[in-house]
Chain A
């Protein structure tokens, strides 16, 4: 019963989707202000989701309808589970288990896999171009990010959220060391790619592929996927807060807002990259930087 409450209400579905939709409004509003526009009203995220739930669902003739419905459901369910594990650890609601930080990271990968699945069975040529880009993008950002997670977990000698936070209470936040600063910058760029936002929005590419990988999703299926995107926009910066800051509530909130602001700023000042540029960037520069951070962490700088 308690677990169901955690999953559905407080750190889980209702709470995190509320915060996520507010943050997605903040994203659009700040982007609009950067472009000297007025921007949408505060309930815009909720209105979009409500409108999409109201609309008809169309399933393409070639697609299997069961898979098409299950994909967004799996995405939403796994993102909610990831956020629940993350935030019950953060708010000290549960003890957690060994390896939960890895579990959370891979639960956040499931929306990408679900959308790859949907895009590839929708039978649309533009979607299949988007699918191939999404797979390459997934392979690109996983490498530096996993190196960073391994670096942090080996630094604190524990594979759980609890041990990462306890270590940072004793030794100060990871962010105040050189390896932490490098790791923070790399991981902000990685979650920008994971959220599929502008310099790395190749799978969707509105102007080029006509929203590519999401092209055949309509109505409430699109609403579920958008909702899981919004929850990820809440969950992934919280993941970084846990990795690099630990348990200070005020500092955590400030760092969270800083990460969101950086994400918005990167989105508004960069053009879309090509897929070969993205792969070279992630496997070259960012992997090199994260290995450097790992060496610095080993030397204890």
Chain B
């Protein structure tokens, strides 16, 4: 069992979910896959389906339209899984906080569904790719 747990830390498959983001964080995620940063060194790769994912990379202040989608995708992801709240908007709704359509940052929405959800916060507008790598590595300590 221990070796399976260890292999979890060596192979993180990330599903990228955008919940009403301004698209800047999404561009930064694409930078992460370029040869310069090359996250495949650490076994991190982007997958197309939440069923295969170990980490949900959520960027954007969650608005009322995106909230049920976020909850649905979180439920579809096999546990144990890690949630990465990416960017200032993901961490705290950013400058959109208090707006009429924004229902709260990622952690508030997900803690209503699952109080024991593991969330990593990567602040920045947008955060650098190095910051995201560090965030995932710190989050793996929690699992």
Interface set of A (CB-CB < 8 Å, partner B): 28, 32, 35-41, 43-44, 46-51, 53-58, 206-207, 209-211, 214-219, 222
Given contacts A32-B40, A37-B38, A58-B76, contact A211 B52 (CB under 8 A): yes
Contacting pair B49 A210 (CB below 8 A) = yes
Given contacts A51-B4, A56-B78, contact A36 B35 (CB under 8 A): yes
Given contacts A37-B35, A39-B40, A219-B78, contact A44 B10 (CB under 8 A): yes
What are 16 A-B pairs with beta-carbon distances under 8 A? A40-B41, A41-B41, A44-B10, A47-B10, A50-B7, A50-B8, A54-B1, A55-B54, A55-B78, A56-B80, A58-B78, A206-B47, A207-B48, A211-B52, A216-B49, A217-B52
Contacting pair A47 B43 (CB below 8 A) = yes
Contacting pair B43 A40 (CB below 8 A) = yes
Which residue of B is nearest A48, CB measured?
A: B11
Given contacts A32-B38, A40-B41, contact A217 B10 (CB under 8 A): no
* Residue B69 interfacial (CB < 8 Å): no
3 nearest CB pairs, A to B = A50-B7, A210-B48, A47-B10
Contacting pair A43 B10 (CB below 8 A) = yes
Q: How far is the CA of A32 from the CA of B42 in the complex (A)?
A: 13
Q: How far is the CA of A49 from the CA of B126 in the complex (A)?
A: 33
Which residue of A is nearest B78, CB measured?
A: A56
Task: Give every chain A residue within 8 A of B49 (Cβ-Cβ).
Answer: 210-211, 214-216
Q: How far is the CA of A210 from the CA of B53 in the complex (A)?
A: 12
Given contacts A215-B51, A222-B52, contact A54 B5 (CB under 8 A): yes
Task: Give every chain A residue within 8 A of B76 (Cβ-Cβ).
Answer: 58
Q: How far is the CA of A219 from the CA of B54 in the complex (A)?
A: 10
Task: Give every chain B residue within 8 A of A44 (Cβ-Cβ).
Answer: 10-11, 43
Interface set of B (CB-CB < 8 Å, partner A): 1, 3-8, 10-11, 35, 38, 40-41, 43, 47-49, 51-52, 54, 76, 78-80
Given contacts A35-B35, A44-B10, contact A218 B40 (CB under 8 A): no
Contacting pair A50 B78 (CB below 8 A) = no
B95 to chain A, nearest CB (A): 31
Question: Which of the residues A39, A50, A211 comes within 8 Å of B48, measured between beta carbons?
Answer: A211
Contacting pair B52 A218 (CB below 8 A) = yes
A49 to chain B, nearest CB (A): 8
Task: Give every chain B residue within 8 A of A35 (Cβ-Cβ).
Answer: 35
Question: Which of the residues B5, B8, B43, B78 comes within 8 Å of A57, measured between beta carbons?
Answer: B78
Contacting pair A50 B4 (CB below 8 A) = yes
Which residue of A is nearest B44, CB measured?
A: A40
Task: Give every chain A residue within 8 A of B80 (Cβ-Cβ).
Answer: 55-56
Task: Give every chain B residue within 8 A of A46 (Cβ-Cβ).
Answer: 7
Given contacts A32-B40, A54-B4, A219-B78, contact A206 B10 (CB under 8 A): no
Which residue of A is nearest B33, CB measured?
A: A37
Q: How far is the CA of A209 from the CA of B49 in the complex (A)?
A: 9
Q: How far is the CA of A243 from the CA of B20 in the complex (A)?
A: 55
Given contacts A55-B80, A218-B51, contact A28 B40 (CB under 8 A): yes
Task: Give every chain B residue within 8 A of A58 (Cβ-Cβ).
Answer: 51, 76, 78
Which residue of B is nearest A215, CB measured?
A: B49
Q: How far is the CA of A204 from the CA of B1 in the complex (A)?
A: 31
Q: How far is the CA of A51 from the CA of B35 in the complex (A)?
A: 25
> Beyond A210-B48, A218-B52: 14 further Cβ-contacts under 8 Å?
A32-B38, A38-B41, A39-B41, A40-B43, A41-B41, A41-B43, A47-B10, A47-B11, A50-B4, A54-B1, A55-B8, A55-B54, A211-B49, A222-B52
Contacting pair A37 B78 (CB below 8 A) = no
Q: How far is the CA of A218 from the CA of B41 in the complex (A)?
A: 23
B53 to chain A, nearest CB (A): 9
Q: How far is the CA of A39 from the CA of B41 in the complex (A)?
A: 5
A266 to chain B, nearest CB (A): 20
Which residue of A is nearest B10, CB measured?
A: A47
Contacting pair A40 B40 (CB below 8 A) = yes
Question: Which of the residues A40, A50, A210, A219 comes within 8 Å of B3, measured between beta carbons?
Answer: A50
Task: Give every chain B residue within 8 A of A32 (Cβ-Cβ).
Answer: 38, 40
Given contacts A57-B78, A210-B48, contact A38 B38 (CB under 8 A): yes
